């Protein structure tokens, strides 16, 4: 696909993307069922890869993508995104963003969820609640005739203007389909009425990355991991959605994940 070209999907293609997204969602739920203090990122990454490959023809969407070494991006506390799974055990005061991609039936699915252990502060719990709400504020703007800027404006207005958090500028949502990252880019900030016009059949991943403190980030020496500059926590939630005439169609789901969280005594629910 030529760079910058926007490819609108047919209803049949959207259903294939939905299947990939639902597998991502179930994989995240599986992660949510096994997370506990003492478990490591490497352990849940191996579980996630096996879970995906147990579905015939499905493969991890991230592993090997630009040489990324793992199935999951596991981003803990001050890590915003693109954290590489390691052997450091989780503790009861951690928050853990898990971003997962699947390639299945020639289409990608993509979603993310930030898990919270029971020992986190009310301040951090509020950050996650607002980040999650901001995702749905953005999704509500994904209707034909609106523009990409309307999505970013809604997220920024809620998380940054109303609540005073930092919206990351360097990383954005994206189109998705036969490629993991397609046009257009979908920033989590912006101006109403600006940017690419949204038309029915556009499939995009919307993924607010919201920092407790500064919006500024830094990249670690591994070439992947993005951290907040002030080392304060960062929240991250993501859905893949299709723009349709009757409104946004969320192709991934957090329902499975939230059910797993509710049944996991070590995790805290984010309403």
Q: What is the pLDDT of residue 271?
A: 80
Count CB neighbours of 201 within 10 A.
Answer: 18
Q: What is the pLDDT of residue 1?
A: 41
Q: Can you state the angle between helices 122-140 and 148-156, rounded to 10 degrees?
A: 160
CATH classification number, 11-262, choose in 3.90.230.10, 3.30.450.20, 1.10.569.10, 3.30.70.20 = 3.90.230.10
Domain boundaries, the chain: 11-262
CA–CA gap between residue 111 and residue 250 (Å, rounded): 11
Residue 75: pLDDT above 60? Answer: yes
DSSP secondary structure of 62-74:
STTGGG--SSEEE
pTM above 0.85, yes or no: yes
At 247, is the pLDDT very low, low, confident or very high (cuts 50, 70, 90)? very high
Q: What is the pLDDT of residue 24?
A: 98
Count CB neighbours of 75 within 10 A.
Answer: 27
Residue 116: pLDDT above 70? Answer: yes
Q: What is the pLDDT of residue 3?
A: 54
DSSP code for 157 = I
Structure tokens at 254: 């957090």
Residue 2: pLDDT above 50? Answer: no
Q: What is the pLDDT of residues 151-199, one digit of tens each?
A: 999 999 999 999 999 999 999 999 999 999 999 999 999 999 999 999 9
């Amino acid at each position: 696909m030529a760079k910058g070209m926007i490819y609108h999907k047919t209803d049949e293609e959207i259903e294939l993307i939905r299947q990939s997204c639902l597998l991502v969602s179930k994989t995240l739920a599986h992660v949510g069922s096994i997370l506990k203090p003492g478990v490591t990122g490497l352990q849940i990454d191996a579980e996630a890869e096996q879970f995906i490959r147990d579905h015939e023809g499905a493969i991890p969407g991230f592993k090997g993508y630009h040489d990324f070494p793992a199935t999951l991006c596991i981003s803990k506390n001050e890590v915003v995104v693109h954290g590489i799974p390691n052997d450091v055990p989780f503790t009861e005061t951690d928050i853990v963003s898990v971003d997962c991609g699947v390639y299945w039936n020639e289409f990608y699915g993509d979603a993310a969820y930030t898990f919270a252990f029971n020992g986190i502060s009310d301040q951090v719990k509020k950050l996650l609640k607002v980040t999650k709400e901001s995702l749905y504020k953005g999704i509500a703007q994904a209707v034909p005739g609106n523009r990409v800027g309307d999505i970013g404006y809604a997220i920024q207005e809620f998380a940054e203007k109303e609540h005073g958090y930092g919206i990351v500028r360097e990383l954005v949502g994206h189109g998705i389909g036969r490629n993991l990252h397609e046009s257009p880019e979908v920033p989590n900030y912006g101006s109403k009425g600006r940017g690419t016009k949204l038309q029915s059949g556009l499939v995009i991943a919307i993924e607010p990355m919201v920092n407790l403190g500064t919006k500024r980030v830094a990249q670690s020496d591994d070439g992947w991991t993005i951290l907040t500059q002030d080392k304060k926590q960062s929240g991250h939630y993501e859905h893949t959605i299709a723009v349709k005439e009757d409104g946004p169609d969320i192709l991934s789901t957090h329902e499975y994940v939230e059910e797993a969280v509710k049944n996991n005594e070590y995790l805290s629910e984010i309403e």
